[in-house]
Structure 1
């Protein structure tokens, strides 16, 4: 029983695209199971195990976390990781362009096609007569 609980904790790895919240909650459940079996480790070791189980996507977070030398609880680490995931999603979202005029978009479309967009003379401007 102790062996299986330890193995679950040490061998669990987060898969790419899965929820960091679900992953850490699963890891916390394994920690709680070990605590009930009196096979508890120091809290720092649990944090290290959870950090080691994350995908490479979280490498920047892990580096910053280790530099800051924080000693949070597992639920606090879960909240930090959720915030990091939210920040990563915001960084991947392209900025919205508001108020884009149709003339700008048609000029861009013409450039993409390799054509030059011709412009009409402004009102009040006359063509030169030869």
Structure 2
């Protein structure tokens, strides 16, 4: 696999090659198929390979496909909307009344702000 190329295309090609071998009569067990696919990945998948080897994961080809393609989708969706903070809170300065303090049982403050605590 060339660095920067889509992993999904590479995995589909590898699965196709493994299916062709199976059709031709060369039976390769599922564990060896997974290891063969993992060996063809570039250095950018080093963290995934480390996690795979450390946790001794045993994936079928379908699960391996999902595991390798899901993080790529998650990185694309990392953009988050910035939350705008308005002075006085989101209610335009109207503060919610605080409950009773659990320490001294007085209203208008909480345990952290309690002078007795």
TM value normalised by structure 2: 0.63
Task: Please show how residues 49-88 of structure 1 align to structure 2 within 5 Å.
Answer: 49-88=36-75
What stretches of structure 2 of length at least 5 have no aligned partner? 87-117
- Residue by residue over 1:55-103, the C-alpha shift from the partner in whole angstroms, topping out at 9 and shown as x without a partner, is 111110111011121211111100000112223445xx565544389xx
2:23 corresponds to which of 31, 36, 39: 36
Question: Which consecutive aligned stretches of 4+ in structure 1 deviate over 2 angstroms post-superposition?
Answer: 86-90, 93-101
RMSD of aligned residue pairs (Cα, Å)? 2.0
1:48 corresponds, among 28, 31, 35, to 35
Match of 2:10 in 1: 23
Separation in structure 2 between the aligned mates of residue 67 and residue 53 of structure 1, nearest angstrom: 19
Structure with more relative contact order (C-alpha pairs < 8 Å, separation 6 or more): 1
